[in-house]
Structure 1
Amino acid sequence: MHRMKEFYLVSDRHIRYAMMKAFFDARMIEGSSVREHGVMMLSLVEKLKDLQADFNKEETYVDVILQSLPPSFDQCIMNYNMNWLEKNLHELINMLV
């Protein structure tokens, strides 16, 4: 990240905006690997945290990751929300896999 900033002379604000856009726009393609999607989402979360774009609660990250899943995960998402499951990000990805 630091190399990109130096090479392109891009501000932290612009990089943070691009990472947040990638995070909020991410959508898993139906039939693709949930593990690969989860790893990508966790990577974006770590980059956002490095850029100090941290949300107040980890629940926000969980909500965005759940919203990024295709319709075939609707039952899983409903189960997660109705049973008040509390998982950290890594546990969530493992549960989805």
Structure 2
Amino acid sequence: MMRELKVIFETHAAVESYEASKQFFGCMMEEGSSVSEHMFAMSGHARKLSDLGIVIPNQLGIHRVLQSLPPSYKNFVMNYNMQNMNKELPELFSMLKSAEVEIQKEHQVLMVNKTTRFKKQGKPKKDLKKGGKKAAAHPEKPKGGPKPDTDCYYCNGKGHWKRNCSKYLADLKSGLVKKKKGTTE
């Protein structure tokens, strides 16, 4: 009977430690969330592992915390690793709180820049007349172009300009004619 209970409790402890380590190593901070809440969650997972007899060395804990940070902390992580800092978790937490304030400031500046819209120059369009009724749409001006009786200076045809002349464009493409510099036709 004692042997069976021991097997049951050992199996339960193994499952519990597996789940606790899964939560610790899978814990990721979401972009924009509080670093304090994240550190609290991570320390809770680490404490549960410790209660189950699994001790996480300080260096491994530091690496795990740094790996769990969102992309906005990329510069912080890079500086921490380049300066080869060997801090304890409470010191890292203090540094992360300071970094969080700076990252939030940067994020606010980015949000302001993203939402700033510049007004177009010119007169604003008025869609409404007095009384709230929609104004009739103004007829669009005809686009500029050759009139039907316009002569082409290349082929002497009617209704197009030299720059639109299919014969001129074909000759230009084949190399029979060279385009003069500075002309718009």
Report the TM-score, using the length of structure 1 for normalisation. Answer: 0.84
How far is 1:42 from its partner? Answer: 1.1
What does 1:1-80 correspond to in 2, within 5 Å? Answer: 11-55=12-56, 57-80=57-80
Deviations 1:32-88 (A, max 9, x none): 001110111111111111111113x31011111110100000100011111011111
5+ residue gaps in structure 1?
1-8
Structure showing greater radius of gyration is 2
1:30 and 1:72 in contact (8 A); partners too: yes
1:42 and 1:89 in contact (8 A); partners too: no
What is the number of equivalent residue pairs in this alignment? Answer: 88
Higher relative contact order (CA 8 A, sep 6+): 1
Question: One-letter code of the match for 1:50?
Answer: D
- Separation in 1 of the partners of 2:46 and 2:33? 20
Question: One-letter code of the match for 1:79?
Answer: N
Question: One-letter code of the match for 1:63?
Answer: H
Question: One-letter code of the match for 1:14?
Answer: V
- Give the match's secondary structure for 1:87: coil
5+ residue gaps in structure 2?
1-8, 98-185
Question: One-letter code of the match for 1:32?
Answer: S
In structure 2, the residue matched to 1:94 is: 94
How far is 1:15 from its partner? Answer: 0.7
Q: Percent identity between the aligned chains?
A: 40
Q: Note the aligned Cα RMSD (angstroms).
A: 1.4
Report the TM-score, using the length of structure 2 for normalisation. Answer: 0.45
Question: One-letter code of the match for 1:33?
Answer: S
- Relative to its length, the structure with more helix (as a share) is 1
